[in-house]
Amino acid sequence: MNLPNKLTMARIIAVPVFVILYMKQLYLAAFIVFILASFTDMLDGKIARKYNLITNFGKIMDPLADKILVYSAFCLMIGDGTVPAWMLIVILLREFAVSGMRTVAAANGIVIAAGMSGKIKTVLQMIAVPLLILRSYHPVLQTLATVFLWASMAMTVYSGIEYIVQNKQVFKE
C-alpha cells in the first residue's frame, strides 16, 4: 500500500477516535483529530498526483473517507443540537443521488469524475465542522461556523444539481 492510500486509511481510522472524543465532550481533542484527519485529505492527493501514485483504491476510498469523517461529525452534531437534522438529510440525498448515478454510469462503461463544485463542497464542510466544534469558545467562531455551514449546504445543493444536469445522459441509459 502506497503512502497516499495509507493516509486515506489513517483518516478512516481517525473517525472512531474523533467520535469517542466528541461524545466524551473533549472538544479540543476532537477538534485536533478532525483537523489532522482533514489535513491527510489534502496531503494524500498532493502526494498521489506529484509522484503518480494514483490507484483505483485511492479513487474510491479517498472520497469515501472524507464522507465518513464529515458525516460522522454531522451525526454527532445533530445529537447535541448543533446541526439541524434536515441538513444532513439534504447532504445524504445528494450523496445517494450522485452515487446512484455513478453506479448506473459505471454499469454502462461510463466513468464520471468528481467535479470542482463537489470538491469545494467537501472543503467547506471540512472547514465548517471544526468551527462548529469550537463555536462556543468565541462569538466570532459561532458566526464563522454558521456562515461555513450554510455555504456548505448551498454548495451541496448546487453541486448536486450541477452533477445531475451535466450527467443527464445517465437517465437515458
pLDDT in tens, 49-88: 999 999 888 888 998 999 999 999 999 999 999 999 999 9
State the Cα–Cα distance between residues 19 and 15, nearest whole angstrom.
6
Q: Which three three-digit cell numbers place residue 2? A: 502506497
The confidence score (pLDDT) of residue 171 equals: 76
Residue 173 has pLDDT above 70, yes or no: no
Q: Residue 125 in contact with residue 73, Cβ under 8 Å? A: no
3-172 maps to CATH 1.20.120.1760: yes
Sketch the domain layout of the chain as residue ranges. Answer: 3-172
Q: Residue 95 in contact with residue 67, Cβ under 8 Å? A: yes
Q: Which three three-digit cell numbers place residue 121? A: 463542497
**169 contacts: CB under 8 Å, gap ≥ 6:** 110
pLDDT in tens, 103-127: 888 888 887 777 899 999 999 999 9
